[in-house]
Structure 1
Amino acid sequence: MINIKGLSEAKVDKIKEVLTAAAKLFGSLLGSGGFITASALCDRRRSVFRIPSGSSALDRLLGGGFESMAITEIFGEFRCGKTQICHTCCVTCQIPTDNYPGGKALFIDTEHTFRPERLRDIGHRFDLDIEAMLENILYARAYTSEQQMDLLDMAAAKFHEESGVFRLLIIDSVMALFRVDFSGRGELAERQQKLAQLLSRLQKISEEYNVAVVITNQMTADPGATMSFQADPKKPIGGHVLAHASTTRVSLRKGKGEVRIAKIYDSPELPESEAHFAITLGGIADTID
């Protein structure tokens, strides 16, 4: 910091004192030395809510819906329902229930897949005021991974400005722009470092503002799958950085017709199981026998 023009050694020492005081204050809020008891954590987690997906089968798989204070990653091939789930959740997050107050959604689009017309169809299914429903969804289009990070900072500022109003943050998809901006093995390390920073920011936002974070992810061919005789030669991209950052990972695959199959791929509390749902005009819904 001393090498920065305009910052003397005295000024740097003063900045360090302020940062130290802030750290001590933050530690006192959390508990002595930053630690709190498991009982206190249980009390804090009483504010966690779950956003319904639109399908009761998928909600059961997720333990009630998409969890707040957590990152839920949905990955799968194209046309398997990732974006349809995101659109449906933008609507369902606004509907209050006995255990959920309802609120606004924020959508960061990296692949130009967001369609407000689709939201209208879903809104009609739930008998909502369409214009009011659309007003409760904030949308932003990202064209570079750097802009994606900037939009995340803007989202945090918006959450702070309208405290307790937003319930859902969606990024569809989280890796698309990183694949474009960082190509080849020579840029892999830098890509993963930037990705780790974005995911760390996402996790902090989810916990600080008590919002559910839903991110979609793409698939890629696994060159080592044929050597190990794996049943599925494809895997989600992002490597271990994304795998460890996501609280719950859900894989999607196509079934017959408009039926899709969701499976818990990784979760700290949910058992490995599957759920079937359908893609309908009114968003995702339970399959019809």
Structure 2
Amino acid sequence: MALQLQQRQPAPRAAESRLVNAEAEHQAVALQEEEGMEDGSTTMGVEVLLNCEGIQKRHIDLLRKANVHTIDQVLLMPCRELRQIEGISDKTIEKMKIFVKGQMEQGFQSAKDYADQSKNMIKLQTGSTAIDTLLEGGIETGSITELVGEFRTGKTQLCHTLAVTCQLPLESNGGEGKCLWIDTENTFRPSRVIAIAKRFNLDPERTLDNIMIARAYNSEHQLELLIQATGAMVGHRYSLVIVDSATALFRAEYTGRGELNERQQKLGRFLRILQRLADIFGCAVVVTNQVVTSPDPMAVYTGNVLQPIGGNIMAHASQTRLFLKKARGDTRKMQVFDSPSLPEAEAEYRITDGGVDDLSEDGGGKKGKSRFGKKKDDDDE
């Protein structure tokens, strides 16, 4: 299911009108599902369940009200979550599950078939050939990639670059899709998108229109936005979801060891829903993460002075973890911190007016001037 969604299937590049509120999103999704309109999405809406005996339109309305818009969600959500939807009985949930399992392939497959499907996986270019080489093609779709680093290492700048490159055609190592961005630190800057779009010869206005941005003000709001994201993504082709940063609000709101368990449980749920989005829509998910100084006195000798926030919950949820570091001058380094397929290695890059770029042979940037030749700004992180 997930791998099928990750295959190189062309998607429209034209921008539709952005949805401005949850009610407008719900009405647009309902209209698309009723009239059978699609915009590059390969998912099936929950209205398909009307073909199941005993499922009525009111059940579909209840699912949509609970932000369950696709049969993929019905399949992937545990029954205990579906039972929390008022008005849907256990018997109805059982019928839905049986019907959906009959509609979608599920179970074992040979490793050879899996490998053949993986060959068609879309990878998003980062703007730097050195980083793309390090990642064996770019950012993977269908999985979570975590960018870890202290301030001014280029985490947010890489996110801005990816928000543009994900809209490039497949033949240009793009995703031919839109970007959904959850901003928890007020670091999204349209001016950066415009500058990067010009570098890649894209229309700045259309590029901005293909990015749906939402500001999260607390950890509960952050989770609510993610749940609403499914409704916004149904009927459209989204190739990238960005959360910058995934841990900042949880870190600020839950302090001390007494609240650590609750924080980790809620962070774990947030990351689980993120992975579900990647599975359903076949999009790449990129999250940024802050660091903390290790209290271990031996860390200075092992070189692990800075540790990612989020502990084991974050470590297990991210398929690929990339550590961003400062280097000499305006050079930055990216190190593969953890990956199921990539070797531990590193690449150097530079942040320019046109986003993430390679270093020239003499150590300078290829395009534009460095953005780090000045005092730290909010959007330099």
Question: Shift in Å at residue 59 of structure 1?
Answer: 0.7
Shift, 1:129, TM fit: 1.0
Aligned counterpart for 2:128 among listed residues 42, 47, 55: 55
After superposition, what is the alpha-carbon deviation per residue over 1:45-93, rounded to whole angstroms, capped at 9, x for unaligned?
Answer: 4552111100010011111111100000000111001001001111111
Match of 1:125 in 2: 199
1:204 is the counterpart of 2:276: yes
In the alignment, residue 91 of structure 2 is paired with which amino acid?
E
Asked if structure 1 preserves the Cα contact closer than 8 Å seen for 2:335 and 2:344, the reply is yes
User: Which deviates more, 137-146 or 15-24?
Assistant: 15-24
Distance (Å, rounded) in 1 between the aligned partners of 2:188 and 2:300 = 38
* TM-score relative to the length of structure 2: 0.68
Question: Which amino acid letter does the alignment assign opposite residue 132 of structure 1?
Answer: R
Matched AA of 2:259: E
TM-score, normalization by structure 1: 0.89
Residues 1:186 and 2:258 are matched in the alignment: yes
Shift of residue 97 of structure 1?
A: 3.3
Which aligned pairs between 1:3-14 and structure 2 lie closer than 5 A? none
- By how many angstroms is 1:107 displaced? 1.0
Cα contact 2:299–2:305 (8 A) shared by 1: no
Q: Percent identity?
A: 43
> Does structure 2 conserve the Cα–Cα contact (< 8 Å) formed by 1:111 and 1:176?
yes
**In the alignment, structure 1 residue 245 sits paired with structure 2 residue 320:** no
* Distance change in 2, residues 1:46/1:232 (3 Å): closer
Report SS of the residue matched to 2:170: coil
Counterpart-to-counterpart distance in 2, 1:41 and 1:24: 25
Query: How far is 1:101 from its partner?
Result: 4.7
Cα displacement (A) at 1:133: 1.0
Q: Deviations over 1:6-59 (max 9, x none)?
A: x9xxx9xx822222233333444233xx44443454455455211110001001
Query: What is the SS of the residue equivalent to 1:146?
Result: helix
Task: Give matches, 1:243-282, under 5 Å.
Answer: 243-282=315-354
**Where do 1:27-106 residues align within 5 Å?**
27-28=101-102, 29-31=104-106, 34-42=107-115, 44-45=117-118, 47-98=120-171, 100-106=174-180
Structure number having the greater strand percentage: 1
Can you list the C-alpha shifts for 1:193-220, whole angstroms capped at 9, x where unaligned?
0011011100010011010000000000
Q: Distance in 2 between matches of 1:272 and 1:228?
A: 20
> 1:151 & 1:258 partners in 2: Cα distance?
35
SS at 1:202 equivalent: helix
Q: 1:274 & 1:93 partners in 2: Cα distance?
A: 23
Contact in 2 for aligned 1:225/1:232 (Cα 8 Å): no
* Residues 120-129 or 52-61, more deviating: 120-129
Contact 1:30/1:36 (<8 A) preserved? no
> Which residue matches 1:229?
301
Q: Matches of 1:97 and 1:79 in 2, distance apart? A: 31
Q: Structure 2: which 5+ residue stretches go unaligned?
A: 1-79, 362-381
